Structure 1
C-alpha cells in the first residue's frame, strides 16, 4: 500500500442536480471506481455540501449511513459514497491509506455540482480519513472548508480493546479477510502499508486554519477517550465528548446528527 495522493481525479456518469437523489460513479486518481450519491438539501437551495465518510465495513446504502445523510440533508446538500472495497465501489480497502483519494473525488464532485463550500464528516475509519484528507488536500481543489471526525482513532495499530483486536484479525489474517469479504461484504487488501501513512494525530496540526471538530462517545467500545483527547491536544479544534454514546454512525443519535449539521454549515 502507498500513501501517495498525487494526481488528478476524473468523474464519469455524473447526473445533473434535481430535487431527487442522484447516483454517480467517480474515478479516483489511481483509477478506482467509487459509487456516490448526491442528495439536495431538503430545506431549500444552499451553497454548502457535506460529504459523509462512513466507517469500516460500511457503505453508501447501509441504514446507519442513510439515516445520518437524511438528518444532515436538513442542513445542507449531502454526498455519500462507498470507500474502495466497500459496497458497489471497486478496488480493495487499504483501511485508511489510499481512501483519501476516494474522499477527494467525492469532495471535487460536490464542487463540480456547484457548491462553493464543502465540509466533510467522517465516522471511525472515515474519521481518520477526513483528518488526513484535510491535512493533505488543504491547498488543492479537493480541500474541505470544515471537518468533523466522529469516533476516530488518534493513532494506528491500536489493539487495546477486544473490538479492535477483532478488527485487526479481520484485516491481517487470510481467514479474517475471507470473513471480511463474505461476511462483512468488505474486500480488504492483503498488503501491509508501505510506507505507513500519516496518522490522524500527526495530521491534526496541519489542518488549521480549517475549522475542526472532534466528536467521541464516552462508551466507545473501540477507542477509549484518550484518543479524542490526544487529537484535541495536537492542534486547534473543538471537542465534544458525548455522554453514553457508543461508536460511530450506528451510535450517533438524531440530536447529535443535527448538531453536527448545524456546526458543519455554520463554520
Structure 2
C-alpha cells in the first residue's frame, strides 16, 4: 500500500528537517487528498542530557467530526511535540481533506499516508496515537500494516483495502496508542452513540454532519464489515500497545477498553483514567504529557 504527497515527498535525514511547521497535502492509496501538518520536536537543547528525540514522530488520528485545526487536536500536538515530532492530519470527509468519511473503515488509508510521510521526512520510529474513531483506526492500522490479518478474518469478509495490505516497511507503526476507542462496531448502548448512528445512517443526519460539524459522511453501508478493533488489538504485538480510557466516558463504557486489553494480552498496557470523559476533548495536559512520556520511552 502506498501514498504520496501532491508532487511526491522525498526521503530525508532527520537533521535536515525544516525547523518550523510544514503544511502539505498527501494522496492516499485510493486517491483521496488529505491535509496534514508536520511539527518538529520542541525539546531542542532543553532536552535531558543523553536523551534523543530525533528518530521519533507521533502521528495523531483525531476523532469523528474532528480535524487537524480543531483546538483539542492542536493542544495534543503541542504537548506531544515536547517529546517528539508530530504529524497531524484530517481524515477524509473532515476539515480540508477530500472524500467522505467512512467512519473508521477506509480511514486506515489516511493514517497510512501520514505514517509514510513521517518516515519520508526521515523519522526512524513512528508511533500512532488515535482518539475515539481514530483509536479504532490506529488499532486496525497496527494489525493490517504489519501483515497480521488472519486467514479466518479474510474469509469472513474483511474490507477490500484490508485484503491488499501487507508488511510495508514505510507504513507500519512501531507503537500504538488508542484513547477512548470502541472495541466493537455498531455499539448503540449509550445515548451519544445512538445520536451518532442517527447522523451516520439517516439522510437528514448526514446533512447535520455536513453543515453542523463540517463532516461529509459517505451514504453507503460497510460492505464487507471491517476487521473489528477487538480483533485488531490481538494482532498488533510485538509492537507495544497502550489503551487509555476514561471511567466517565459517555460514549463507550469500561467494557470496551477491558475487551481490547484482554484481546491484546501481555502485549498491551491499560490506563483507566479517573474522572476522564471522551477522547481528545477530555484529555488534559497531564494525561497528554504521560502519553508523550510513554511514546518517547525506548
Q: TM-score, normalised by structure 2?
A: 0.86
Select the residue among 238, 247, 260 that pairs with 2:269.
238
Deviation string, structure 1 residues 221-252 (Cα, Å, up to 9, x no partner):
00000000000000120000000000000000
| d(CA) in 2 for partners of 1:67, 1:8 | 29
Residue of structure 2 equivalent to 1:170: 199
1:130 aligns to what?
138
Size of the aligned set, in residue pairs, is 261
Q: Structure 1 unaligned runs (5+)? A: 1-6
Larger radius of gyration: 2
> Tell me, what secondary structure is at the counterpart of 1:206?
coil
Q: Post-superposition shift, 1:8?
A: 2.0
1:37 equivalenced with 2:37 (yes/no): yes
Q: Cα RMSD (Å) of the superposition?
A: 1.1
Deviations 1:149-188 (A, max 9, x none): 0000000000000000000000000000000000010000
User: What's the counterpart of residue 100 of structure 2?
Assistant: 92
Aligned to 1:198: 227
* Counterpart secondary structure, 2:117: helix
**Residues in 1 aligned to 2:90 and 2:237: alpha-carbon distance in whole angstroms:** 27
Deviations 1:92-116 (A, max 9, x none): 0000000000000000000000000
Equivalent of residue 182 in structure 2, options 153, 156, 160: 153
Structure 2 counterpart of 1:105, from 105, 113, 121: 113
Counterparts of residues 1-267 of structure 1 (less than 5 Å)? 7-12=1-6, 17-44=17-44, 46-138=54-146, 139-140=167-168, 141-235=170-264, 236-267=267-298
